[in-house]
Amino acid sequence: MSAGLRSGQVAEAAGVNIQTLRYYERRGLLAEPERSNGGHRLYDEDAVTALRVIKAAQRLGFTLEEVAELLEAGSHRHGRPVAGLQDRAAAKLVEVDAKIADLTIIRTALAAAVAAGCDDLTLCASSACCPIPFTDLAEENRHAGPCC
């Protein structure tokens, strides 16, 4: 039997590129695996799980840097309290909510543009009866005032 998974197998199993494995290793997200005599990486099953965790965290909106910190925080929590998953998740929740709110406004504007039959940006911008709230969108002061 083989003494571990080859990098190609791990990449395949986790659905990532082989280069990405090495990239994560460089970034400190993935532990350095054992090596064969010839220097080939030999992973254990946990590596696949680790990759899934990373990908899940990414999908939760964390950057790779944040993921690295989270893994750090989880593994050796000896010393000062690094803000853990708990706190970061709460903070991220706020971010995600904001993003959803943003997208919802955008959705509304898009839907309105479709409904109104807008077909020319510059025309719309000057026609003043166009449902795209240009200025509201351009500036950061979003309060969804009526346009026309």
Question: Rule CB under 7 A: which of 54-93 touch DNA?
Answer: 58, 63-65
Radius of gyration of the CA atoms of the chain, in A = 24
Helix (H) or strand (E) holding 42, with range, is strand 41-42
Residue 53 tokens read as 């965790």
Verify binding: residue 52, DNA, rule CB under 7 A: no
Amino acid at 91: A
**How crowded is residue 119: how many other Cβ atoms within 10 Å of its Cβ?**
8
Verify binding: residue 99, DNA, rule CB under 7 A: no
Between residues 17 and 104, which has the closer beta carbon with respect to DNA? 17
Cβ contacts of 42 within 8 Å, gap of 6 or more: 3, 4, 5, 6, 33, 34, 35, 36
Verify binding: residue 99, its own copies, rule CB under 8 A: yes
Verify binding: residue 97, its own copies, rule CB under 8 A: yes
Among 20, 23, 25, 52, binds its own copies (CB under 8 A): 52
Question: Rule CB under 7 A: which of 10-39 touch DNA?
Answer: 11, 16-20, 22-23, 36-39
**Residue written as token pair 């909510």:** 97
In degrees rounded to 5, what are phi and psi of residue 61? 105, 5
Secondary structure (3-state) at 45:
helix
**Residue written as token pair 């990405």:** 20
Residues that bind DNA (CB under 7 A): 2, 6-9, 11, 16-20, 22-23, 36-41, 58, 63-65
Residues that bind its own copies (CB under 8 A): 14-15, 49-50, 52-53, 55-57, 59-61, 67, 70-71, 73-75, 84-86, 89-90, 92-93, 96-97, 99-100, 103-104, 106-107, 109-111, 113-114, 117-126, 132-135, 137-139
